Amino acid sequence: MLAQLFPYSRYTVGVEPAGIPGQASEVDRITLVGLVFETASGLHRAVGPLLERQCELAGQEFEILIRLARTPGGRLRMSDLAAQTALTPSGLTRAIARLCEAGLVSRETCPEDRRGAFAALTGAGEERMGQALDVHRAQLAELLDGALDLDEELAFVVSLRKLRDRVSPEASNLTA
């Protein structure tokens, strides 16, 4: 995409061609971040309804359960879980309460810190996640196959982790 002028300012957006073979183009960061947001929003719209219909998991619930499922021991401190999700602390507390009521998660107190708490995946939660992951994998294959080759996907994961670690460094921390 060639660079375009913002209609209400002198700011250009897009990719400015370098004009010299082998020289990298300049990438507009507003466009870069906008594309990340648009892609994330589109993925949420594409995967959410199927998980709700087939697995009875709302987007927030799946977001919480997948983080618990991929964590050794199937449990995370609430503070770590909050850092890894887009939920506010009160939103996370309400979502965990719903998951506890459904029998998919249990709340455990932290022996070292009485104010701290863990969210832990239950047996029923593991079973539901097994079902949801099968549905999710199939849907992601349908959405992503052919969009990027393997090397591009691997490079994209590396790039997204670097960006995530810059803007949300606590998201990759796990407290025992």
For residue 99, which phi and psi values (nearest 5 degrees)? -65, -35
Residues of the chain below pLDDT 70? 1-27, 173-176
Domains and CATH numbers, the chain: 58-168 (1.10.10.10)
20 φ/ψ sector (left φ>0, alpha ψ -120 to 50, else beta): beta
Residue ranges with strand state E in 63-165 = 75-77, 105-109, 117-121
Query: Which pLDDT score is estimated for 11?
Result: 55
Q: What is the pLDDT of residue 175?
A: 56
Q: For 133-152, write each residue's pLDDT tens digit.
A: 999 999 999 999 999 999 99
DSSP 103: T
Token pair for 87: 């939920």
Distance CA 105, CA 64 (A): 10
DSSP state of 2: B
Please give the distance of CA 27 from its chain centroid, rounded to a whole number.
24
The pLDDT of residue 115: 73
- Identify the pLDDT of residue 158: 94
Q: For residue 15, report the phi and psi dihedrals to the nearest 5 degrees.
A: -115, 125
Q: What per-residue confidence (pLDDT) applies to 22? A: 52
Q: Which two tokens stand for residue 35?
A: 């594309």
Please give the Cα distance from 176 to 138 (Å, whole number): 33
Supply the pLDDT for residue 102.
95
Q: Measured at the alpha carbon of residue 155, what is the angle toward residues 154 and 161, in degrees to the nearest 5?
A: 90
- Sorted by sequence, the CB contacts under 8 Å of residue 54 that are 6+ apart come out as 131, 135
Locate 132 and state its tokens.
């949801």
- 82 in Cβ contact with 92 (< 8 Å): yes
107-140 pLDDT, tens digit per residue, is 998 777 777 789 999 999 999 999 999 999 999 9
